[in-house]
Amino acid sequence: MSAAVGAVSPRRAAHLHVLLAIARADFLERVRRYGFLITLAVAAWGAHGALPPRGAGYTTVSLDGHRALYNSAGAGSIVALITGLFLTLVGFYLVKNAVERDRHTGVGQILAATRMGRLTYIAGKVLSNAAVLFAMLGVMLVVAAVMQQVLGEDRHVDPWALALPFVLLAAPAMLVVSAVAVLFEVVPRLRGGLGNVVFFFLWAWGLATAVPESVIRLPIGDAVGMTVVMPSLEQACARTYPDYHPGKGRTAGINFSPRAHAVTPFAYPGVRWTPSLLAQRLAWVAFAALLTVLAAALFDRFDAARAAPGRHTRRRARAPAAGEPAAEAAEAAGTRGSVAALTAVRRSERFAPLLRAELALLLKGQGRWWYAGALALALVCLFVPLAGVRGVALPLAAIWPLLAWSSLGWRETRHGTAALLFSAPRPLRRQLLATWLAGVLLALAATGTYGLRVALAGDLGSLSGWLAGVLFIPSFALASGVWTGSGKLFEVGLLALWYVGPLQHVPALDFLGAVPGARAAHAAFFALALALLALAYAGRARQLRG
Amino acid sequence: MRLVIDRVSKVYRGGVSALAGFSLDLGPGVLGLLGPNGAGKSTLMRIVATLTRPTGGHVTWEGRDVASQPDAVREVLGYLPQDFGVYPNLSAVEFLEYLAAAKGLEPRAARRRIEELLELVNLGDARKRPLGGFSGGMRQRVGVAQALLNDPRLLIVDEPTGGLDPEERVRFRNLLSELPGERIVILSTHIVSDVEAVATDIAIIARGRLVAHQAPEALLHSVEGRTWELVLPSAELPALRQRHLVSGTMRRGDGVQARVIAAEAPGPGARPASPTLEDAYLDVLARERAGATA
């Protein structure tokens, strides 16, 4: 026998070594930031909130006024389930920058010039994403154990029952999110804001498949494990409360309701893990592996020439890149003319040219279809009966320029133009104001026909709501862009708010004036818009102080 | 016209000191700010350009503190940072028009000046192409154009020739030397040849401190009579480096020709040579290092 049975070949060992080195370096780069500590603190706070004490006024996982007792199995299952629900959304936006960082810093070019394989690189990035999310899960597990003791409903610690839901429910979901994040990063169209929007709807669809009433049920259940935990909770509940009918009044999420104060517990022994349930969860791990392989197949290995055909490539075809004859010819000729002969310029304090320039920058890159869509929505808002407009057309019109707004507040850092712009006069009073106003003008243009209609109809309630939205959206974009240095918070935050508020007609979250009679919300969003604008101002002032 | 840098210090978070009591008093002319990598040049440029606040000392422009009244200097400032980006979807004209608006320039005259500037840096033919397709050298020339947009009275160019080929570097130097009228130009670099032709004054910075501020002639004078050339076997070069400051070497058929800064002839056959600015610069740095370790 030439080699020991089961020994790893040197070639495989080398690949594994590279994979782990990539994952380790990427993980360290992420966790050695103050922001990561904040992320862990937020995760701990979220885990703490997943176990509301009696009288908290809200429930997380409840069954018609009952909930699991906070023993190890109950605390572990509830925190793992709530974590799965929210961290699958937030986690995606948190980790979706592993490949982009290498692209931006140029490290990718160096790696691409080595013998590193595509699958090795992509798997390393997926592993690094998963490590970040697992670190958060670890913190949440510790918090669940602490909360079990603090709440004291059953202080007996069963480590297995506490940890198993994290390992078998949350961890596979995080693996899938890690792989999806990398997959979105390697597909050019999904790399930016469009990918963020697409993922939000994918996440919402994924959750919908976990509901028993859903038309679409996947054979492997849902990624988060709702279809695994909920039936076992229902069985335990029915054992304690025989009048409880499975499926009745089940909620998972954050639910504020008057009945939350009177929620009663039932003993919960945890999920009985059968081979079939284990196979379901393993299937999600396999799905994550499949996505990783798919991402590796689509990965361009930092070769810009392999970019998918589309607008970007077509534009490049018109514009020769470095090394091509036209560009080289322009380079070789150098300077000509004289500095002394340049036209003299004088300063002008006119605001309009700057506003015009900001608006042009905001709209730059939007295609004809985008304008056609915006125009169609504006016309629908003008001519279709108001009830229909409020239900679909207005919310759609208000979300249409989402990706244009999402560049506000951080495009200077994204494109490296901060030094050029912040050394120009009055970067706060002129530039920031012009940037915000351009966003407001875009909101006016996108939804203005609705505003006009409700104004002509004398519907002051809807008019005030619409105006609040016109101010709120760009203020939110600007503040989150300035403070987070990314458009992700705005993209996912506005989408979530939009989905629950104007689209589902929850009056408290109607920031558009789409729900008649939601005046309190309109006033709140108006105040929030001003507060966010002030926050953006403070953030930019902080940036300017260096 | 006066720019005063008065005992400026900058300590970054974590206690890293980039500048330590740096002072300089500047009038019209071209200042070549020389220093090795990490000496604090870019930090100083960012402080003067109002992008970073000093942790100690003051910078005043025409008597006004640039930290408390940054717009006083921003209105007259042209700044080419060491690293900068562009909006890839905009053309060169659109990008410069946007920056002209941000600088508050009268649009019609600015438009004419933009066309002229793009011709000047020879991007006239590429002016309508998206910046995303520009090479590094072309982007750098867009940077030069934007720095000259507002006809600045204070022009700060930080490592401007990085990424430019030798031909472009020469052209950039010519452009700087052509700048007419009353203005202060600060040209920060670690490449001595960049400042040789255009600087009216040279400041040398090392470890965040000003170690020399002289006219180029005075700096050259400081190594007058101490610059030598000799040819020696290449095996003896390490020993020569141990004993003296070697400012340059050139391989020849009969060994290595070395340029040496020394008070006396560094060896048999050494003959006096005309000093260059690079010799003087390296000599100043060597003496600063010797002073720091003493």
The whole-number average pLDDT for the span B200-224 is: 94
Lowest mean pLDDT among A329-338, A434-443, B116-125: A329-338
* Complex-level ipTM: 0.87
Q: How far apart are CA A300 and CA A112, in angstroms?
A: 10
A320 touches chain B (CB under 8 A): yes
Collect all residues of chain B within an 8 Å Cβ-Cβ radius of residue A419: 46, 49, 51, 79, 81, 83-84
- Give the pair of three-digit tokens for residue A204: 């919402």
Beta strands A66-68 and A264-266 are: parallel
B62 and B161 inside one domain: yes
Q: How far apart are CA A157 and CA A149, in angstroms?
A: 9
Query: Which has more confidence, A129 or A517?
Result: A129
Average pLDDT value over all residues in chain B = 91
CB-based contact A319 B132, cutoff 8 Å:
yes
Mutate to test the interface with B, among A343, A350, A412 (most CBs of B within 10 A): A343
Q: How far apart are CA B147 and CA A104, in angstroms?
A: 25
Residue type, B202: I
Beta strands B3-11 and A250-256 are: unpaired
CA A540 → CA A41, A435, B71, distances in Å?
25, 12, 16
A357 touches chain B (CB under 8 A): yes
CB-based contact A341 B52, cutoff 8 Å:
no
Domain count, chain B: 2
CB-based contact B101 A416, cutoff 8 Å:
no
pLDDT tens per residue across span A232-271 = 999 999 999 998 888 777 888 777 777 777 789 999 999 9
Lowest mean pLDDT among A78-82, A135-139, A488-492, B113-117: A488-492
- Give the pair of three-digit tokens for residue B238: 């390490």
Which residue is associated with the tokens 């031909």? B167
pLDDT tens per residue across span A164-218 = 999 999 999 999 999 999 999 999 999 888 898 899 899 988 988 887 777 777 8
Query: Which contiguous run of DSSP H or E holds residue B237?
Result: helix B237-243
B20 and B106 inside one domain: yes
B99 and B244 inside one domain: no
What backbone torsions phi and psi does residue B232 show, to the nearest 5 degrees? -145, 160
The whole-number average pLDDT for the span A440-446 is: 97
B190 and B254 inside one domain: no
pLDDT (0 to 100) of residue B293:
67
Residue type, A152: G
Q: How far apart are CA B162 and CA B140, in angstroms?
A: 8
pLDDT (0 to 100) of residue A307:
53
Task: For the beta carbon of residue A508, count every other beta carbon within 10 angstroms.
Answer: 12
Please give the residue range of the domain that contains residue B16: 3-220
Residue type, A365: G
Helix axes A460-484, A488-498, angle to 10 degrees: 150
CB-based contact B79 A331, cutoff 8 Å:
no
Nearest to A546 among B52, B106, B110 (CB): B52
The three-class DSSP label of residue A491 is: helix
pTM: 0.80
Is it the case that residue A326 has pLDDT exceeding 50? no
CB-based contact A340 B122, cutoff 8 Å:
no
Mutate to test the interface with A, among B134, B155, B188 (most CBs of A within 10 A): B134
pLDDT (0 to 100) of residue A75:
96
Dihedral sign for Cα A70, A75, A79, A81, please.
Answer: negative
pLDDT (0 to 100) of residue A13:
84
CB-based contact A319 B98, cutoff 8 Å:
no
pLDDT (0 to 100) of residue A313:
35
Cα-to-chain-centroid distance, residue A20: 27
Is it the case that residue A324 has pLDDT exceeding 70? no
B122 and B214 inside one domain: yes
Closest by Cα among A87, A82, A69 to A226: A82
Collect all residues of chain B within an 8 Å Cβ-Cβ radius of residue A426: 71, 74, 104
Is it the case that residue A308 has pLDDT exceeding 60? no
pLDDT tens per residue across span B213-239 = 999 999 999 999 999 999 999 899 999
B96 and B18 inside one domain: yes
Closest by Cα among A354, A356, A375, A363 to A404: A363
The three-class DSSP label of residue B54 is: coil
Is residue A517 a contact partner of residue A461, using CB atoms and an 8 Å limit?
yes
The whole-number average pLDDT for the span B145-166 is: 89
The whole-number average pLDDT for the span B18-40 is: 93
Residue type, B167: E
Terminal-to-terminal C-alpha distance of chain B: 40
B174 and B260 inside one domain: no
Query: Which has more confidence, B167 or A364?
Result: A364
Is it the case that residue A6 has pLDDT exceeding 70? no
List residues bridging with B38 in a β-sheet: none
Closest by Cα among A452, B275, A330 to B260: B275
CA A419 → CA A209, B46, B104, B180, distances in Å?
48, 8, 16, 25
Q: How far is B141 from chain A (nearest CA, A)?
A: 9
Is residue B78 a contact partner of residue B154, using CB atoms and an 8 Å limit?
yes
pLDDT tens per residue across span A36-51 = 888 899 899 989 999 9
Collect all residues of chain B within an 8 Å Cβ-Cβ radius of residue A545: 53
List residues bridging with B40 in a β-sheet: none
Instruction: Compute the radius of gyration of chain B from its Cα atoms.
Output: 21
pLDDT (0 to 100) of residue A241:
93
Q: How far apart are CA A182 and CA A270, in angstroms?
A: 33
User: Residues for chain B: how many in total?
Assistant: 294
Any idea what the CATH number is for the domain that residue B192 is in? 3.40.50.300
List residues bridging with A68 in a β-sheet: A266
Query: Which has more confidence, A386 or A449?
Result: A449
What backbone torsions phi and psi does residue A353 show, to the nearest 5 degrees? -60, -40
pLDDT (0 to 100) of residue A330:
42
Collect all residues of chain A within an 8 Å Cβ-Cβ radius of residue B85: 415-417
Provide the percentage of residues in chain A whose pLDDT is more than 90. 58
Q: For chain B, give percent helix, strand, coil, nearest 5.
A: 35, 30, 35
- Give the pair of three-digit tokens for residue A529: 């818009």
Which residue is associated with the tokens 């169209």? A189
Q: How far apart are CA A135 and CA A170, in angstroms?
A: 12
pLDDT (0 to 100) of residue A449:
96
pLDDT tens per residue across span A334-372 = 446 678 788 989 888 789 999 999 999 999 988 899 999
Average pLDDT value over all residues in chain A = 88
* DSSP secondary structure letters along A260-294: GGG-EEE--------HHHHHHHHHHHHHHHHHHHH
pLDDT (0 to 100) of residue A456:
93
Collect all residues of chain A within an 8 Å Cβ-Cβ radius of residue B99: 420-421, 424
Is residue B156 a contact partner of residue B78, using CB atoms and an 8 Å limit?
yes
The three-class DSSP label of residue A414 is: helix
Last residue of a domain, one of B220, B246, B267: B220
Closest by Cα among B191, B185, B215 to B203: B215
Q: How far apart are CA A71 and CA A154, in angstroms?
A: 5
pLDDT (0 to 100) of residue A300:
92
Cα-to-chain-centroid distance, residue A369: 25
CB-based contact A423 B75, cutoff 8 Å:
no
Q: How far apart are CA A182 and CA A123, in angstroms?
A: 9
The whole-number average pLDDT for the span B78-93 is: 92
Cα nearest neighbour of B125 on chain A: A330
B209 and B232 inside one domain: no
Please give the interface size between A and B, counted as residue pairs whose CB atoms are below 8 Å apart: 191
Q: For chain A, give percent helix, strand, coil, nearest 5.
A: 70, 5, 25
Is residue A196 a contact partner of residue A93, using CB atoms and an 8 Å limit?
yes
pLDDT (0 to 100) of residue A329:
42
pLDDT (0 to 100) of residue B4:
97
Which residue is associated with the tokens 């940072």? B81
B214 and B195 inside one domain: yes
Lowest mean pLDDT among A3-17, A180-194, A363-377, B4-18: A3-17
Terminal-to-terminal C-alpha distance of chain A: 66
CA A458 → CA A161, A379, A464, distances in Å?
61, 20, 11
Closest by Cα among B180, B145, B135, B161 to B29: B180
CB-based contacts of A84: which residues, under 8 Å, 6+ apart?
A169, A170, A173, A223, A224, A225, A226
- Give the pair of three-digit tokens for residue B28: 């019209």
Q: How far is A38 from chain B (nearest CA, A)?
A: 19
CB-based contacts of A343: which residues, under 8 Å, 6+ apart?
B109, B112, B113, B116
Collect all residues of chain B within an 8 Å Cβ-Cβ radius of residue A315: 130, 132-133
